[in-house]
Amino acid sequence: MGEAGSGPDRLVSPAEVGPLHDFQVSVAQSPPFTLVTLSGELDVITVPRLREKVAPLLACPATRILFDVEKLRFIDSAGMRVLIDACVRTPPKDGDGAVCGMSPQMRHLFSLLGLISRLTVYPTRADALSHPAAMPSETAHTDTAHTDTARMN
């Protein structure tokens, strides 16, 4: 593992990252959900910012989280883990956490990894807000193209 200092193996602090790691997270109430809107790139560098926003929501047992990922351009395994963990940790009595706005590529990646079945997925935010009890449809559109990354463009 690299050490702080200079050279190609040095560790980079989140304060040093540039536009390549552009990530925005906002939280708003949109009953019956607490809406967490993500945009940019969710990766190992930006995941701590998401965890910081989500932790207080998970501490409240009545919170039902809806992640809107429509504007998320990239997600790595660290980002996927935070989404999955937050959705399955939402108390079952209030319904699972949910995700909306997945691109076909993102949905395909979650499907390939066997993770889509662990999420309640809505095509759009409007669908989630108008049908909060709906379960994900197995017939929803998924991209069958092979992808090596989860770059969402």
Residue 87 has a pLDDT of 87
By CB atoms closer than 10 A (0-12, 13-18, 19+), residue 16 is exposed
Q: Which CATH class is domain 19-130?
A: alpha beta
Residue 95 has a pLDDT of 57
**Domain boundaries, given as residue ranges, for the chain:** 19-130
For residues 17 and 36, the answer to whether their CB atoms sit within 8 Å is no
The tokens for 19 are 């536009």
**How many Cβ atoms sit within 10 Å of the Cβ of residue 3?**
9
Residue 143 has a pLDDT of 35
Residue 27 has a pLDDT of 96
Residue 121 has a pLDDT of 92
Report how far residue 152's alpha carbon sits from residue 127's, in angstroms, rounded to the nearest whole number: 21
Report how far residue 130's alpha carbon sits from residue 32's, in angstroms, rounded to the nearest whole number: 10
Residue 117 has a pLDDT of 86
Spell out the per-residue pLDDT of the chain, length 153, in tens: 444 555 556 555 555 555 556 999 999 998 889 999 999 999 999 999 999 999 999 888 778 899 999 999 999 999 999 999 988 876 555 556 899 999 999 999 999 998 888 888 999 999 999 975 643 433 333 333 333 334 444
Residue 149 has a pLDDT of 37
What's the CA angle centered on 58, arms 73 and 67, to 5 degrees? Answer: 25
Q: pTM for the whole thing?
A: 0.72
